[in-house]
Amino acid sequence: MTKPIHCDILKPTEFNLRCCADYLRRGEVLGVPTETVYGLAGNALCDTTVRKIFAVKGRPFIDPLIVHFSSIDEAAVHVDFSDCARALAKQFWPGALTLVLPKKSSIPDIVTAGLPSVAIRIPGHRIFRSLLDQVDFPLAAPSANPFGYVSPTRAMHVKATLGERIPAVLDDGPCKYGVESTIIDLRNPNMPAILRPGPISASALGIKINVDSDNATDKDSQLAPGMLTQHYSPKAKITLFPHSSGAGVVMPGSAIVYNKKPPKKALQAHTYWLSENGDLEEIAHNLFMVIQKLDQAGYTQLLIERTQETDIGIAVNDRLGRSATQSE
Ligand code: TXA
Ligand code: MG
């Protein structure tokens, strides 16, 4: 990359939103808050800007980007909606659901890694929506972390890792969900498949999911190129232990992370928790923040409890599994 630039953390005032919209019109890429994680946003229809997104993240061009629209009508200019896709869009957008649909030629091939399909969503976050309303193009936005690292749920996470490469991050505090959107493959509307579990669970979707291609892995690289089994990896080695069990022997340099606050008598040094009482939404909300905090505190190993395999807990276990793979 070229020489470091100064990155401003901007509060989402009307003035700052107008400045950010100007940056985007000029082809810049910015950190933006969403209801899932912070995104690295830029003009999805501009080849040069999309290349900049890949460069800033250090992401390989084989891993396609999600495109964010302000309305279904705007999206319909660029993708083919089946009846099933339209029904899901009407029910869950704006929100944490991404649909993979056949693309039209107006979406540059670089966005989709040359695939004939594109992943799209209409975000629910007020600030992101306001930006989309101010510009007349959709925004490509992967999570705003260096490729392979933990996703950011705070503006300071973005500044700490990508701050020398982007001019600004809009700061609207912690992200509501804390894990990325649910991705559904709808290229064949008769066989919807979950490519990535997220805040909207399979049961909430209310459609029959094709389980054969559920949880795509590296071997399905054409199907979900970015769902690598190794991902979300901090510097510290992550080791998982079963839900509702103990962490076993704790070595020096290790931190233990439980789902909920342990009783006082069981509290030892280097013990942390993701929620007060085991609430799944709270666990998801805090997951990436706690991993980043402990990683930066210099722990060399994080022993993390798996969570309940229901609702958003499925997404939490998915991310934990991927973050642990590299170190096992
Ligand atoms: O919540 C989210 O989805 C966040 C916020 C910023 O919107 N974005 C996000 O983007 O998580 P990213 O790029 O970090 O993850 C997108 C995933 C990748 O695994 C990518 O491979 C997959 O979506 N993907 C994108 N386009 C695809 C396509 N055409 N077909 C299959 N998978 C696709
Ligand atoms: Mg990501």
Q: How far is the CA of 210 from the centre of ligand 1 (A)?
A: 19
Strand partners, 32: 39
- Indicate if ligand 1 lies below 6 Å from the C-beta of 39: yes
CB 51 within 8 A of CB 44: no
Domain borders along the chain are: 8-211, 237-323
- Please give the biggest Cα pair distance in the chain: 62
- Can you give the pLDDT at residue 328? 36
CA distance 151 to 201: 20
Q: Which atom of ligand 1 is nearest to the CA of 143?
A: 14
More confident residue, 327 or 226: 226
Give the distance (Å) from ligand 1 centre to CA of residue 169: 20
Q: What distance in Å separates the CA atoms of residue 291 and residue 303, rounded to the nearest whole number? A: 10
**What is the length of the chain?**
328
- The pLDDT, as a whole number, for residue 248 is 73
CA distances from 209 to 202, 205, 213, 269 (A): 7, 9, 9, 44
Q: How far apart are CA 34 and CA 30, in angstroms?
A: 12
CB atoms within 5 A of ion ligand 2 belong to: 143
Return the pLDDT at 50: 98
Is beta strand 182-185 parallel, antiparallel or unpaired with respect to 193-196?
antiparallel
Residue 297 pLDDT exceeds 90: yes
DSSP single-letter state for residue 82: P
Asked if residue 39 has pLDDT above 80, the reply is yes
Mean per-residue pLDDT over the chain, rounded? 92
> Residue 142 C-alpha to ligand 2 middle, in angstroms?
6
Reported as a single tens digit per residue, the pLDDT across 214-255 is: 444 444 444 555 566 667 778 899 999 999 988 777 788 999
Residue 326 has pLDDT above 80, yes or no: no
Show the 3-state SS of 146-164.
CCCCCCCCCHHHHHHHHCC
Q: Could you tell me the pTM of the whole model?
A: 0.94
pLDDT tens per residue across span 167-208: 999 999 999 999 999 999 999 999 999 999 999 999 999 888
Distance, CA of 179 to CA of 56 (rounded, Å): 21
- CATH code, residues 8-211: 3.90.870.10
Give the angle 122-127-128 at the CA atoms, nearest 5°.
35
Angle at 268 between CA 263 and CA 272, to 5 degrees: 75
What CATH superfamily classification does 237-323 receive? Answer: Threonylcarbamoyl-AMP synthase, C-terminal domain (3.40.50.11030)
Q: Is 142 in the pocket of ligand 1 (CB under 6 A)?
A: yes
Interval between CA 182 and ligand 2 midpoint (Å): 12
Which range has the worst mean pLDDT, 10-14, 63-67, 217-221?
217-221
Select from 53, 56, 62, 66 the residue to mutate for testing ligand 1; criterion: most ligand atoms less than 8 Å from CB. 66
> Of 106-110, 219-223, 238-242, 291-295, which gets the smallest average pLDDT?
219-223
Q: Compute, in angstroms, the gap from residue 56 CA to the centroid of ligand 2.
A: 13
Determine the Cα–Cα distance for residues 227 and 301; give it in Å rounded to an integer.
Answer: 24
Is residue 220 within 6 Å of ligand 1 at its C-beta?
Answer: no
* Both tokens assigned to 173: 């505090």
Q: In this predicted structure, what is the pLDDT of residue 38?
A: 98
Percent of the chain with pLDDT over 70: 92
Identify whether the C-beta of residue 185 lies closer than 8 Å to the C-beta of residue 266. no
